Amino acid sequence: MAHAELDRLQACLNFALDTFRKELDNSHLPPLSQHSPVEHPLDDPTTYLPSTALFEARRLSLACLGELKNLIQSPLDRRMEDRYSGYGVASTDTLIKTGIIDYLSGVPNPSQGVPVTELALKFELDSQKLVPILRCCAANGWVRETSDSSFALNRCARTFIEGHAGRRMAFSMPGFMSMIETIPHWVAESDWKFSHSPEQTAFQIAFKTPLMAFSWIVKNPEVLIPIANHLQVAGDMSTPTIVADYPWEQLETPVIVDCGGGEGGLVSAILDAHPSFRAIVQDMENVVALTSSIMEERRPRDIESGVLNVEAHNLFQPQQRIGNEYSFILRHIMHDWPDKEAATILGHVARALGPKSKILLIDMVNIPNVDATATPSVESFLMHSDAKRRDYSIPSHFGSASKLVAAYSMHMLSMMNGCERSLREWETLVGGCGLRITNVYPLRDHSAIIECELDTGMKGKL
């Protein structure tokens, strides 16, 4: 019997996996293994940039796997899995907090597995609690149970070892889960259900504060550094593709200003690749104190010579760097803010532009996940394949493979009434600030570079 959807997804998955395997070989990468005691280059996007074909084959494989899971799994099982997904996060957090991750990575034979009794003794913990926690991690693919109640790290969990990227991201803000639980109340029945203010969100309800999320964070120093670290890794994940996939040499302005540039990782990478530029990192006062000390340590010569400046600047104040000397980057800034505030921020930058200046908005483009059998991105990926005429049933934004974009959008919504914008929403926002989009550069990441310049047809209307 023909099973149309199952058959199409299976064919698509086979095609995607065959391509993925071929591209791994073309890139001279080792085989992927969950048993390996070392990380695979593909595990860390902050240090390894896959070829475009490898990136696309991986994304399509994940999309097919997700769509197949949605097709096959019982909805009740999926509902239960969703409901209990927080336990997966709590389990890995526990392994990090107790020191078990670092211990498992440091044993003489990390693939062999350590009995839970040894872990309990070493860390003065209750083995009855450790077994379900470690089994939950195993079910989520972070550890392996090598024999009954003995556990070894999987390759992927190595990202949680001290000094690795996932460890810097592995903080959890107390109250974060209650903010998530507050969302249905906030949206359906609170006094703020129609409010678009960043001061009237699930965040204020859950954290019992009148402060906007960013103001609350800077007033709570115990979370400022972990959050700055988290944001820096989230940014670093797109840095290699931003440096590689934008034609920096075509920028006609000698200075790049990174507005809300955080710890300055992005301009550092751009300066390394294009030393002819000068750069300025702007952020809030409390943040630039941290950024300055980081940059003085990492790039003392650039700071001394004035190639790199770090300065306090409020996004809601007029931009003081004006004219043809400057182009501006706003990475992961606009998604934080609702339309009114986003337009104020962008308007200030627009009024500082010279005719040669560009604004590079680096954020996700939230393509609606419309039911589609042949989307532009899938189509272009398939263009040179024999399989191109097949009907693939992959939604336009790769379905489950865009879960992260959807989750980010929910996070921005509940924290600040922000969102990840669709291209149409970007056009409206940009056009309303007297700008026009000159190009959209897709990245080998979940985000894109939306390049804008002054809309000369709008001269005098700003």
Q: How far is the CB of 410 from ligand SAM (least distance, A)?
A: 15
Query: Taking CB under 6 A as the rule, does residue 235 contact ligand SAM?
Result: yes
Given 262, 338, 395, 399, the residue binding ligand SAM (CB under 6 A):
262
Query: Taking CB under 6 A as the rule, does residue 240 contact ligand SAM?
Result: no
| Count of residues in contact with ligand SAM, rule CB under 6 A | 18
Q: How far is the CB of 227 from ligand SAM (least distance, A)?
A: 9
Given 66, 198, 240, 261, the residue binding ligand SAM (CB under 6 A):
261
DSSP collapsed to 3 states, the chain = CCCHHHHHHHHHHHHHHHHHHHHHHHCCCCCCCCCCCCCCHHHCCCCCCCCHHHHHHHHHHHHHHHHHHHHHCCHHHHHHHHHCHHHHHHHHHHHHHHCHHHHHHHCCCCCCCEEHHHHHHHHCCCHHHHHHHHHHHHHCCCEEEEECCEEEECCHHHHHCCCCHHHHCCCCCCCHHHHHHHHHHHHHCCCCCCCCCCCCCHHHHHHCCCCCHHHHHHHCHHHHHHHHHHHHHHHHCCHHHHHHHCCHHHCCCCEEEEECCCCCHHHHHHHHHCCCCEEEEEECHHHHHHHHHHHHHHCHHHHHHCCEEEEECCCCCCCCCCECCEEEEEECCHHHCCHHHHHHHHHHHHHHECCCCCEEEEEEECCCCCCCCCCHHHHHHHCCCHHHHCCCCCCCCCHHHHHHHHHHHHHHHHHHCCCCECHHHHHHHHHHCCEEEEEEEECCCCEEEEEEEECHHHCCCC
Given 39, 283, 453, 455, the residue binding ligand SAM (CB under 6 A):
283
Q: How far is the CB of 313 from ligand SAM (least distance, A)?
A: 6
Q: Which stretch binds ligand SAM (CB under 6 A): 62-70, 155-163, 179-187, 259-267?
A: 259-267
Q: How far is the CB of 315 from ligand SAM (least distance, A)?
A: 4
Query: Taking CB under 6 A as the rule, does residue 395 contact ligand SAM?
Result: no
Given 15, 203, 214, 246, the residue binding ligand SAM (CB under 6 A):
214
Choose between 56 and 258: whose C-beta lies nearer to ligand SAM: 258
Given 158, 331, 358, 397, the residue binding ligand SAM (CB under 6 A):
331
Query: Taking CB under 6 A as the rule, does residue 287 contact ligand SAM?
Result: yes
Choose between 362 and 429: whose C-beta lies nearer to ligand SAM: 362
Q: Which stretch binds ligand SAM (CB under 6 A): 117-125, 137-145, 298-306, 312-320?
A: 312-320
Question: Which parts of this chain interact with ligand SAM (CB under 6 A)?
Answer: 214, 231-232, 235, 260-262, 266, 283-284, 287, 314-316, 331-333, 336
